Amino acid sequence: MKTIGLVVHPSRHIDGALASARDWAEAHGVALRQVAIRGQDRRVAELVEPADCDVLLAVGGDGTVLAALDAGGPVGRPVLGIACGSLGALTSAKSGEIDDALDRFASGAWEARALTGLVIRRDGERLDSAINDLVVIRRGSGQVIVEIAIDGALYARTAGDGVVIATALGSSAYTIAAGGPLLSSDHDGLVVTPLADHAGSVPPIVLTGASSLTVTVDGGFSGARVEIDGRIMEDGTGPGQQQPFRLEITVEPCGARLLDFDGETRIAGLRRRGVIADSPRLKARDHRKG
């Protein structure tokens, strides 16, 4: 290993974790550099291109891991996530475990989970890609109208807060918080979950990777906002100026790879972090038995 590329949280206190990473790199003769992330100006090391790194070390939380996956995916660089005071559902180690994590990476004692992504086109032109999710949400006080079509056939029209379209990786975030299903980690498709739909009956729907999805958005007077992996995509229009637009979404391999050391299943990791939790009644029963 020659170079580690840091991707850091824009504001969280991570000095201890960075010090550990610097000490490890110096002791092993490895260069520690920083990968620039769009929209972030925090600098902790000299800049480097993702292609020139052996691994991207994401220090912060799940948002930082997503930024690292977005940067490393196009050049196939694996991402090692370090949780610094966060839930860290996508991370592989805690901040106090950086030395051990880097030792294991350097020795080859790891696996990389290949991820799929959502390729998003707006009115026929490529907009961006998402590793976690695409969210269309109302920008003001009014409802956003969304028409959902699958393989060219209308599924439903909704009026409410918007819609979340997530990969299997992203299904454990906004999707599950909105009452949508959790997809198994090996699922190659996506899930569409309406947000606070006003009346009607539009249940979340799971699609395979071979399906094509089209979402036509009418934001009304207040407009609609598009978020891709948490990044707000500005369209330069104000209230009452936004015209209806169409988003076309397909699933494709994205090149992003997430490191895994112990082979812990995704469900086991979510249970350990408390994202999935048993009924309090059952916990009370276990306590009585204990």
Active-site residue list: 62
How crowded is residue 241: how many other Cβ atoms within 10 Å of its Cβ?
11
Pairwise CA distance, residues 229 & 75, whole Å: 19
- Going by DSSP bridges, is the β-strand pair 153-160/78-83 parallel, antiparallel, or unpaired? unpaired
Contacts of 224 (CB under 8 A, 6+ apart): 136, 137, 138, 139, 144, 162, 217, 218, 242
Neighbours of 268 (CB within 10 A): 12
